Amino acid sequence: MMEESQASRIFAIPEILEIILLDLDAHTLLLSARVCRQWNALIKTSIRIQAALFFLPDRKATPDIRNPFAHHVWDGFFRKQLSTRRRPGDKTAKLPQIEPLRKEKAYLRPDASWRKMLLQQHPTSFIDVLGNGIGTPTELRWRSDGDYIRMEDLEMLMDSEALIATRRPFLFSTIPRFNADESRRARQEQT
């Protein structure tokens, strides 16, 4: 009984609990919010934990750390046809149906955590898209509100048929590789 009490007191110290939680892998850390209200509150309010879960930017992180949830969402949701609504490009890409329906509903929840996650650390406000996987990438840039691209933005692009999921996972970068205006200016200067 005494050990339980001592452990409870240690976990009640937010600074110690934060250090322990930050040592978890991202998936376990996300699930840890379900343990109790105290853990949930700490996970939602700790800037370091929110950055570790890709909800907030982390400028101290090693550049280009990919969100470990991104491929899971890409393969489990974006690369699937939905039962509850049609996405443009579903039939063209010959995507399999998402199964079961409860999994689809879980992904479609407006408050699903994946929606607010950044694609990577350091975050980016653009993505490069390769048409059919060949040629020069086309840069898609948005988020004039000062925020970075979040996974819900990819869903919006897919729903508007600006982006169609393929079997290949998506690629993204924090450094623009192609700028049409600069390219046009350079060509004009050469002539």
Q: So what's the pLDDT on residue 181?
A: 44
Owner of token pair 């600074």: 15
- Are 63 and 131 members of one domain? yes
pLDDT at 138 over 90: no
Phi first, then psi: give them for residue 60, nearest 5 degrees.
-85, -10
Answer yes or no: are the C-beta atoms of 98 and 104 closer than 8 Å: yes
- Rounded to whole angstroms, the Cα distance separating 155 from 30 reads 21
- Are 82 and 146 members of one domain? yes
pLDDT tens digit sequence for 17-46 = 999 999 999 999 999 999 999 999 999 999
Q: So what's the pLDDT on residue 79?
A: 84
- Rounded to whole angstroms, the Cα distance separating 176 from 17 reads 39
Residue 43 belongs to what domain range?
1-53
The two three-digit tokens of residue 156, written as one number: 């919006």
- Are 125 and 140 members of one domain? yes
Bridge pairing between strands 65-66 and 120-121? antiparallel
- Rounded to whole angstroms, the Cα distance separating 121 from 164 reads 24
pLDDT tens digit sequence for 92-118 = 667 788 889 999 999 999 999 999 999
- Are 7 and 99 members of one domain? no
Domain count, the chain: 2
- Are 22 and 3 members of one domain? yes
Q: Which amino acid type is present at position 54?
A: F
Q: Which of 16, 36, 53 is the last residue of a domain?
A: 53
User: CA 72 → CA 6, 75, 78, 188, distances in Å?
Assistant: 38, 5, 9, 44
The two three-digit tokens of residue 148, written as one number: 């970075």
- Rounded to whole angstroms, the Cα distance separating 135 from 70 reads 24
